[in-house]
Structure 1
Amino acid sequence: MAGHMKLGKLIVLYDSNDISLDGALNLSFGENMQKRAESADWEYLRIEDGNDISQIAEAIAAAKRNESQPTLIEIRTIIGYGSKVAGMNKAHGNPLGKEEAKATKAAYGWNYEEEFTVPKEVKAHFEQLKHKGEAKEEEWNKLLASYKAKYPLLGDELEQVINGSVSIDAADILTFDASKAISTRVASGEAINHYVKIVPSIFGGSADLSHSTMTDIKGEQPFAAESYSGRNIYFGVREHAMGAAGNGMALHGGVKPFVSTFFVFSDYLRRQSAWLRCKSCL
């Protein structure tokens, strides 16, 4: 779906070590990740040495330059690298043990005896990143203040969207006649189409069930590669991916997503949304 939508800001790092918990990966898996990615309209990049940080950084930089495709970066690694179980499935689920952990740290050149040590150099590096982030935040706040001064109404609306706040008057609340029977899906559809006019950050869709679960927003275009301004997302038969996308958008903020499917398909969507405390609507 990401390839179909041309989501160029999506980058996936795929750890490729040929090992599964049960043993060699080829016991259960033999797919060609390059062909799989490219057939889904993704850019595919491969790194042969997962310990070469500079190669990873270069691949991520290249992926960022591709604004019309998501990118899968397959990174070849050795599971349990530096330990006596390197390259073995034992490294997947079994703890190394205290002595082997020490030996593995020594193989890495890690000379700190105390467990969970954070070296001073690392702390100093993160302090620099904090100051860099503070400068970026100040730059953004100035830009937002300038925008609000020039466009007060749009500026207030943008700030509400960013903060996730909603301003609804009592008169805007949708009501139903309790004496008249109405199915939940029809009531939900009416609610969606009512509140999208009041809350501009609401958008979403269903897993190929919009006509059954009544999620179509009337008068709005599809969210598509040609234009991301549409508010109707057509996820196709992808319940799991739809749930992940909805949760991801909710965690990112700036939008109030909703996703829809039949109740029987919704178990894992509900649980994941709950423990992530996502403000997404199912």
Structure 2
Amino acid sequence: MKVTIEEVTVALGGRDVLSGVGLIAAEGEIAGLVGPNGSGKSTLLRTVYRHLGPRAGRVLLAGRDVRTLAPAEAARQVAALPQERGSDFEFTVHEVVAMGRTPYKRAFARDDDLDRAAVADALARVGLLPQAGRRFTDLSGGERQRALLARAFAQQPEVLVLDEPTNHLDVRHQVELLALLRAERRTTLISLHDLNAAASLCDRLHVLHQGAVVASGPPREVLTSELLAEVFGVRAAVLEHPLTGDPLIAFDHRGAAG
């Protein structure tokens, strides 16, 4: 399913946080949002999954405005992993992941075979099937992160919206998560602080700066030394990764942008 964001402006606290933002995530494409803190990445993602409404513009899913969809239909189309994640669920891991099946169920309906299979598959894919019976509150930060991602997978959406999903994950689980998203080939909008992870994972990058998109395209075209200096204020060289051939950003940690 293609996601199209058309001239979206979002105001918070009386000022425009996003102004005329337009971008796309093609069907089956992983589109990354990168930019400094405060550039509007999370605000834009919240608009896609309807937590915020735009002051102007619209978000289209396969040509349909998300604001015209019924809540259950929207939830079957888009699953979100926001930054403000619940950490006090008094449920087991299995029960938290099963919440992803809510859009497919009538009120008070019990899980059926399809629900149980979707939950078990989601838990297995994030490596938490052995932890299914543990209390969510007993998990580490990284395990909670993976459980919430499993909840999104159990939702079986057309589109994934992920806001900094590698937060709290150790290096091994970061690598595994990015490989899992790559294998999914599901339309994905994802914000990442780690530019090297973004360069490796994403088919397309959109760079946000001060509430506007200042560059879009394949990572190799977008991530230049000039852009890194102008947008992020850092001095860096963009090389070729010796193992994967992806762009590899080597930052100068001793100085500032020249």
What TM-score, normalized to structure 1? 0.22
Structure number with higher strand proportion: 2
Larger gyration radius, structure 1 or structure 2: 1
TM-score normalised by the chain length of structure 2: 0.23
